Amino acid sequence: MNLTPENSQPEQPSQSPASPNESAEQAPTPLKKKLIELMLVSLKIGSTSFGAPTAHIAMMEDEFVRKRKWVTPEHFLDLLAVSNLIPGPNASETCYHVGYVYAGYPGLLVAGFSFILPAFIASMVLSWVYVRFGSLPELEGLFYFLNPLVLGIVLVTTWRIGKSSLVGWEQFLLFGLALVGKLVDVNEVLIMLGCGALAVLLHHSIKRKPGTHGNLLLSFVPLPLIGVALKMLFETVGERAWQIFWYFLRTGAVLFGSSLVLFALIEKDVVSRFGWLTTQQLTDAIAVGQITPGPVLSSSTFVGYLAGGFWGGVASTVGVFLPSFIIVAVTAPLVKKMRENAITSAFLKGVNAAVVALILMVCVSLAQNALVDVWTVLILLAGFLAMLLLKAQPYMLVLAGLAMGLINALL
């Protein structure tokens, strides 16, 4: 086949049937197809991911890394690390980052919007039910089966990303220091920054070769406060909607860590300062964030709906998520350059080790809530083994948990 002389190349018709297949394999995926794929996968994750952000990230790791290979395990950890260091909901920002890597800025928007949409719709429906009937439906029984299975999903993902991240004694050292820091209640952002700084020091003292130099390219870009166009929209539907939008925009711009931090930031304002909600209604808003799929931060939709009706729910949702879209749009192009630079690459590796430790500690917290008796422990083990040995998909475990919860509630 390949032994034919060069001067006889024109007489090779036998190779032509294989050419279309080869060219098809090498042809880049059209942007439209990429966006459709991102939309469908993000909608699936947003519709079937319940609980803490770590559960959402676990499903993203399975879909984006293992199943579709849109990013490598190391790159996914980098994106997760950056998401933990900037304001906004970590899981949502990780989804935005993957969207940007796969399909540029259109992918960022499509992935983020699709991930948030199911939670927004569910929160809107529950808000209407709450206003109409004065209470939330009794759904707590669903989580007896669901919580252990979600914990199993998170544990398997922690194991997988731990194998990718902890590859040397330096990483294990930083992992241990991060665990100690979390146990003594050091702020999570400080833990990650500290591990990143220590990784840079280790790089300089141990691994740096003579003549090599690196420039720290971390940049702190001020968050642009855009909203003039949106103000025109919200003014057409009421001043209250604009007030809600502006308030949640400012809140989303300074939100670090768990989405539950949102309630600590807004409690005094929405209850005492503005009088939008009562204390009981704010407590119910927290419950909405737990019983709906997708990002917990979507509970802001419930707050906005109670404060200003339908457009209030839209305004609060857009406001609280918009800063994270802007910040990721600014930082996403820098992640690849950070990995290519020796100093910032070492920094990211240190942060990644800390992220694995912090996720492990979240598993401990989830276990305290999910494992209430011997049956829930058995459910956890079944879900863990189903994923690890039988390669069961996370959404299958979630649907199984919901089905068993519904059967239990009906009986």
Are 117 and 46 within 8 A, CB to CB?
A: yes
Are 81 and 348 within 8 A, CB to CB?
A: yes
Match 């959404």 to its residue by tokens. 395
Residue of 57 and 100 predicted with greater confidence? 100
Among the residue ranges 136-150, 221-235, 244-258, the one predicted with the least confidence is 221-235
141, two tokens:
């029984």
The pLDDT of residue 29 is above 50: yes
Among the residue ranges 3-12, 63-72, 200-209, 340-349, the one predicted with the least confidence is 3-12
Among the residue ranges 175-179, 185-189, 371-375, the one predicted with the least confidence is 185-189
| Position 219 confidence tier, pLDDT thresholds 50, 70, 90 | very low
Among the residue ranges 268-282, 306-320, 356-370, the one predicted with the least confidence is 356-370
Q: What is the mean pLDDT of residues 176-185?
A: 84
Identify the top-confidence range among 236-250, 305-319, 393-407.
Answer: 305-319
Tens digit of each residue's pLDDT (9 = 90 or more) over 107-144: 999 999 999 999 899 889 988 988 887 666 665 566 67
Q: What is the mean pLDDT of residues 279-294?
A: 74
pTM of the model: 0.66
Q: Looking at residue 130, what is its pLDDT? A: 82
Residue of 216 and 67 predicted with greater confidence? 67
388, two tokens:
């690890």
Amino acid at the residue 251: T
Residue of 345 and 2 predicted with greater confidence? 345
Q: Where are the domains of the chain?
A: 228-326
Q: Looking at residue 124, what is its pLDDT? A: 92
